Structure 1
Amino acid sequence: MDRPVVCVGALVWGPGERVLLVETTKWRGLWGVPGGKVDWGETLEAAVTREFREETGLEITGVRYAQTQEAVLSPEFHKPTHLLLVDFFARTASLTVTPNEEIVDWSWATLDEALTLPLNTYTRTLVELARREGR
């Protein structure tokens, strides 16, 4: 039986107060934040830390819950899926991205610059939340 898939992602600030945005193979050319599926027995914070490291080579600290979103059969996603997206804010001490095979391109951007990128709608709400909170 198909069930919703729990995923985590993080909007991460690096040195210079810029956030990392990535274009991945899974969002039909749209940009988002690094993240992925939560493994059985894994906490959300452990999952976001692991996924961020796997996709970018970066270690994150100061992980803080941001919001939860639901993507039900989103046409933006590469296949029909019901995703429960748990988003976090975090920091990293490095700007050196070592991308895995899922990342096509990446950019360090201010929050205002981030909104000029072709973001998926779920990442756009996360960036807008960060702006409202004055992060």
Structure 2
Amino acid sequence: MDRPLVCVGVLVWGPDGRVLLVRTTKWRGSWGVPGGKVEWGETLETATKREFVEETGLVLRDVRYAQTQEAVLPTEFHKPSHMLLIDFFARADTFEIAPNEEIEAWAWVELGEAHTYPLNSFTRTLVDLALAQGEA
């Protein structure tokens, strides 16, 4: 029997206050944030830090919970999937990205300008939350 996948995602602020957006192979050309599946025995924070290092090469600090979203068969995703998306905010001390094979492009942008990118709907919600909470 199939079950929902537990996944983490993280909106990260760099040293100058810009946030990292990425375009990956999994979201049909739309932009989002780094993240991925939680492994057996792994805490959400550990999974967030591991996925971020794997995808970008950057180490996170000040990881804090942002929100939880349901993604039930989203058409934006590259295959049929049911995911529980647990989102975080965090910081990184450098801009030097070492992308893995999933990341096609990346950009450090002002939070208020994130909506000028074609974001997937789940990242739009996360950016909206950061704006509403006055995150910086």
TM (norm. structure 2) is 0.98
**Residue deviations 1:15-59, cap 9 Å, x none?**
110000000000000000000000000000000000000000000
Partner SS, residue 106 of structure 1: strand
- The corresponding residue for 1:119 is 119
- The corresponding residue for 2:90 is 90
Matches of 1:109 and 1:125, distance apart in 2 = 17
- The corresponding residue for 2:61 is 61
Runs in 1 of length 4+ with deviation above 3 angstroms?
none
Matches of 2:58 and 2:115, distance apart in 1 = 23
RMSD: 0.4
Matches of 1:70 and 1:3, distance apart in 2 = 13
Q: How does 1:5-84 map to 2 (within 5 A)?
A: 5-84=5-84
Query: 1:109 offset after TM fit, Å?
Result: 0.4
**Residues 1:102 and 2:102 are matched in the alignment:** yes
Unpaired runs of 5+ residues, structure 1, are: none
TM (norm. structure 1) is 0.99
Partner SS, residue 52 of structure 2: helix
Matches of 1:91 and 1:111, distance apart in 2 = 13
Matches of 1:55 and 1:107, distance apart in 2 = 14
Matches of 2:9 and 2:46, distance apart in 1 = 11
Which AA in structure 2 matches 1:4? P
Partner SS, residue 78 of structure 2: coil
Task: Give the % identical residues.
Answer: 69
Matches of 1:64 and 1:37, distance apart in 2 = 18
Unpaired runs of 5+ residues, structure 2, are: none
Which AA in structure 2 matches 1:85? L
Partner SS, residue 116 of structure 2: coil
